[in-house]
Structure 1
Amino acid sequence: MDVLVVGAGLAGLRTALLLARRELNVMVVDRRRSLSAGIRTTGIFVRRTLDDFDLPEHLLGPGIRDVLLYPPSRRAPIRLTSDRDEYRVADMAAVYEHARHEAESAGARVLLGVRYVGASNGFVRFAGAEPVTARFVIGADGPRSRVARDLGLDVNRRFLVGAEIVHAIESGASVPAFHCVLDPRVAPGYLGWVIDDGRHAHVGVAGYPNAMRTGLRHLLDAFAADAPGRVTPAGPVERRGGPIPVGGVLRRLASPAGLLVGDAAGAVSPLTAGGLDPCLRMSELAAAVTAGYLRTGDQRLLSRYDGNTLRAKFRGRLWLRRVFAGIRSPAAAEAAVTVLRGRAGRALAARVLFGDGSFPEVDPRLADLATGHRRR
């Protein structure tokens, strides 16, 4: 085969779709037997993603325009309101199934319940299944990528760990809003959050593992008991969680044997921990680079998928991540929120929460090379 993609998350399936559309022989494997199992993302899509990608409308919840930022005291939150829908929360299990169907319709094979064991010199091994040969291997296997290690690429080393509760709510029981609580007792180095779109509520916490002395589940349950905007569940409660890489895009992302996408590539905002937008954009670039390289054999094309260049986009957020990590007491958090109440602070918060920034688009010349066309 031409390309093996390890991991059937959004990044892996998107990359597989784009490669299959370029008439490459693509196979995707994932150790999960169901794409609805082991979901880790909250499923928040930001406005820029909604504007630039054709996401299935029926799988997205109502738009959210209001964000409320709370200090540890939970008193007098800062309200930021956009004149546009800034966030929509997706049914991620259904989004994954939709992405799988699209990839398979384009010609990719998607095999679930197949666990990747290792790859060497184009020879790929699986647990309990016959090995295969692949010209190129793409690691979309999460923040602790086994593919990255096998290919000799960089690996994520800085993580938050997050957990959340998801449940349906009664229609009309609340006003759609995104509630964020800055409190190191609940989420050391990050936020506690409630995102409520009027259909479902996601209540979560995340933070540095070594600072969560009472345990992640204890912190989540304690936060959920008195979280702002909390509404009574109207149906089953689902729990999610897992590691979140926040060190920025990795520097060495590609080799002649393969490359990384999604969380495996560190494609998560260091500050907000949002990964769906960068995962889709990096998948576009990864597919163009992969197809061009396999078409021409020119290893220089792999340098277009350069982590240092992509990492520069996150320079400001990497700096803010260090500042955020330094907020270690409730008093410091109260002071930080006080700073954000001023004009400059509100402008900074609005820029982070409602910003238009994103990864660079794929160079049209590279996309042409990947498909064998030339611009005149």
Structure 2
Amino acid sequence: MVGAGLAGLHTARLLAERDLRVLVVDRRRSLAAGVRTTGIFVRRTLDDFDLPGHLLGPGVRDVLLYPPSRRDPVHLTSDRDEYRVADMPAVYDHARRAAETAGARVLLGVRYTGITTGIAHLDGAEPVRARFVVGADGARSAVARDLGLDVNRRLLVGAEIIHPSGSATTVPAFHCVLDPRVAPGYLGWVIDDGHHVHAGVAGYPSAMRSGVRHLLSAFTSDAPGLTAPAGPTGPAERRGGPIPVGGVLRRLACPSGLLVGDAAGAVSPLTAGGLDPCLRLSELAATVTADYLRTGDDHVLRAYDGNALRSRFRGRLALRRALASVTSPAAAEAAVALLRTRPGRSAAARILFGDRSFPDVPSPSSSPSPSPVR
């Protein structure tokens, strides 16, 4: 298993529980380093997986959608908690302990450098004979390249800052700004759950002429919903990295290995949410991997089919193309104006509060129901 993010660790635990010998390697020396996700879990994930509640912030029910002018936002409110923001370093540590308890070995500070004739080469450890390699190594996966699988080609680049919330009485809210000047092809966001504030931007790097860090600085100078840090000020945590938005890759598996998480493009192409799909796809990946290693039948790998998943969310891929076409402030103002109409508000609510941020994963008949993240 290359990569000790949520997808890698969850898959590793499921495989170890099936009595397979699992080794997880990650080049980071600490799972608290190099966090790239905001850590937003959506309601569907909260409903379907037993997540560690003490590592999740308060529920967020309010979403505000702003045009470039920042005036007259579309305010949507759900009657349920739609989002909760996690303490991701602690979630990773929790997932690591669960994987190790199940029997997996986790080695940090070890970099995967390639695989030849069943031997995985590692920088920081001895080579390992590997019957099967699972790539959970991010949007620009080296495992995908080495195994001849598909690679992500449509990428956003994002950056954000995190600091303590300025007010314990803040009503948790998710502020989204459609402004191609600071987030070309995507959004700027501020999510404040009363504990921490996450403020970030993402967009197509080819359109970010001044760079994502400069655009983040410009956005946070007047971002809506951004409160001042609580208590003594110090260096804010910074995160960032590539976000695949081309949809699940078509060729995800071969007799030598498969891909999960961002490496597989398992991210909603519209909302760029990756934590829900990484858990769902990991369930299928673990079942297919275990069945394949038990039987040696290449046909088992056909159940891990990216084409089947892509066919289930053509609409979101079309909306991704539409969002990418909003390239001027005037167009963004017009788009938000449409969302103020009754049909527009209904469509926005379905996207933001619906149950299909990622398509249902088609499981083989032998697949168990989703396992808890303990």
The reply on whether 1:204 has 2:203 as its aligned counterpart is no
Matched residue, 1:322: 321
The reply on whether 1:272 has 2:271 as its aligned counterpart is yes
Matched residue, 1:367: 367
**Contact preservation (8 Å) 1:60, 1:88:** yes
Aligned-pair CA distance for 1:366? 2.5
- Superposed counterparts of 1:177-256, under 5 Å: 177-234=173-230, 235-236=233-234, 237-256=236-255
In the alignment, the residues of structure 2 paired with residue 152 and residue 161 of structure 1 have an alpha-carbon distance, to the nearest angstrom, of: 24
Matched residue, 2:158: 162
Aligned-pair CA distance for 1:214? 1.3
Matched residue, 1:47: 43
Aligned-pair CA distance for 1:171? 4.2
Matched residue, 2:355: 356
In the alignment, the residues of structure 2 paired with residue 210 and residue 362 of structure 1 have an alpha-carbon distance, to the nearest angstrom, of: 35
In the alignment, the residues of structure 2 paired with residue 172 and residue 157 of structure 1 have an alpha-carbon distance, to the nearest angstrom, of: 41
Matched residue, 2:371: none
In the alignment, the residues of structure 2 paired with residue 243 and residue 206 of structure 1 have an alpha-carbon distance, to the nearest angstrom, of: 9
Matched residue, 2:304: 305
Matched residue, 1:371: none
Amino acid at match of 1:71: P
Between 235-244 and 42-51, the greater mean CA deviation after superposition = 235-244
Matched residue, 2:13: 17
In the alignment, the residues of structure 1 paired with residue 31 and residue 227 of structure 2 have an alpha-carbon distance, to the nearest angstrom, of: 28
In the alignment, the residues of structure 1 paired with residue 349 and residue 59 of structure 2 have an alpha-carbon distance, to the nearest angstrom, of: 17
Matched residue, 2:372: none
SS of 2:76's equivalent?
strand
SS of 1:76's equivalent?
coil
Matched residue, 2:136: 140
Matched residue, 2:115: 119
Aligned-pair CA distance for 1:172? 2.5
1:58 to 24, 47, 54: 54
- Structure 2: which 5+ residue stretches go unaligned? 369-374
In the alignment, the residues of structure 1 paired with residue 364 and residue 327 of structure 2 have an alpha-carbon distance, to the nearest angstrom, of: 45
- Using structure 2 for the length normalisation, give the TM-score: 0.96
Measured at CA, do residues 188 and 233 of structure 1 come closer, stay the same or move farther in structure 2, by a change above 3 Å? same
Amino acid at match of 2:327: R
In the alignment, the residues of structure 2 paired with residue 87 and residue 361 of structure 1 have an alpha-carbon distance, to the nearest angstrom, of: 21
Aligned-pair CA distance for 1:362? 5.3
- Report sequence identity in percent: 75
Amino acid at match of 1:17: R
Aligned-pair CA distance for 1:187? 0.3
Measured at CA, do residues 314 and 362 of structure 1 come closer, stay the same or move farther in structure 2, by a change above 3 Å? closer
- Structure 1: which 5+ residue stretches go unaligned? 369-376
**Contact preservation (8 Å) 2:303, 2:364:** no
Aligned-pair CA distance for 1:129? 2.4
Amino acid at match of 2:266: A
**Contact preservation (8 Å) 1:6, 1:138:** yes
Amino acid at match of 2:241: G
Matched residue, 1:372: none
Amino acid at match of 2:162: V
Amino acid at match of 1:287: A
The reply on whether 1:87 has 2:83 as its aligned counterpart is yes
Deviation sequence 1:32-51 (CA, Å, 0-9, x none): 00000000000000000000
Number of aligned pairs? 364
Aligned-pair CA distance for 1:314? 2.4
In the alignment, the residues of structure 2 paired with residue 46 and residue 336 of structure 1 have an alpha-carbon distance, to the nearest angstrom, of: 24
1:96 to 80, 86, 92: 92
In the alignment, the residues of structure 1 paired with residue 114 and residue 364 of structure 2 have an alpha-carbon distance, to the nearest angstrom, of: 34
